[in-house]
Amino acid sequence: MAERLASGRHRLSREQVAANQQQRLFKALTAVMGNKGYHSTTVDDLIKEAGVSKATFYQHFTSKQDCFMSAYARMQQHVIAAVQAVPKTGTTMERFTVMLDRYLGFLSLDPPTARLFLVEVYAAGPDAIRRRVELQQQFITGVATIFDARSKDDRFACQMLVAAISMLVTQALTDGDPDAITALKEPILGFTEKVMER
């Protein structure tokens, strides 16, 4: 976690100070919105939790929405990097297992952040929902690549599979049960093997 910098002179560059401030604001976003929800969270809540001034907040972001979208883009990069780092060798199911492991593992490492970006995202407006759909499309593309989905029907099967995974993960996060996220692995793999293997 990014800690508040001591006041006065220090040896950090402007870029390092700015990165620390942004990191604290992203942590504050997760902490405050995780408790209050997107709509009930204010910029004042975020700056109080992060320990920064209002002027500092507006040096980095134009609004609460801008802060949320920046944090979402950052999370999206991490998720996609994890999901796309699938080995090129092994059976289709072995490769899918690696992808699923990484996705569920990433979400279970920090359930409050996962809940923020998979559940609260729907309260953040049309731009946030478009970003959520974009993330899901990238996941679908990864699954389609693994299963060598070439036809429209094959691609639709991949889309259905990712939608089911997303719904199951969202349910686990809504129920506040982080262990349920990783417990999804075996049932998802069993179902996938039945419907996707040819």
Mean pLDDT of each 10-residue bin along the chain, 198 residues long:
50 80 92 89 95 94 93 84 82 93 88 85 89 88 91 93 93 85 95 80
Q: How far apart are CA 184 and CA 198, in angstroms?
A: 23
Cα–Cα nearest to 32, from 3, 40, 22: 40
Instruction: Report whether 113 contacts 75 (CB < 8 A).
Output: yes
- As to burial, measured by CB atoms within 10 angstroms (0-12 exposed, 13-18 middle, 19+ buried), residue 185 is middle
pLDDT of residue 119: 85
pLDDT of residue 61: 95
pLDDT of residue 94: 93
pLDDT of residue 79: 81
Which domains does the chain carry? 14-61 (1.10.10.60), 68-196 (1.10.357)
Contacts of residue 50, Cβ cutoff 8 Å, sequence gap at least 6: 21, 24, 25, 27, 28, 57
pLDDT of residue 63: 94
Residue 86: strand, helix, or coil: coil
pLDDT of residue 10: 58
Instruction: Report whether 196 contacts 147 (CB < 8 A).
Output: yes
**Count of C-beta atoms within a 10 Å radius of residue 100:** 20
Q: Within 13 Å of residue 63, how many CA atoms lie on the same side as its CB?
A: 6
Q: How far apart are CA 95 and CA 89, in angstroms?
A: 7
pLDDT of residue 3: 53
Q: How far apart are CA 92 and CA 75, in angstroms?
A: 27
Contacts of residue 118, Cβ cutoff 8 Å, sequence gap at least 6: 107, 132, 166, 169, 170, 173
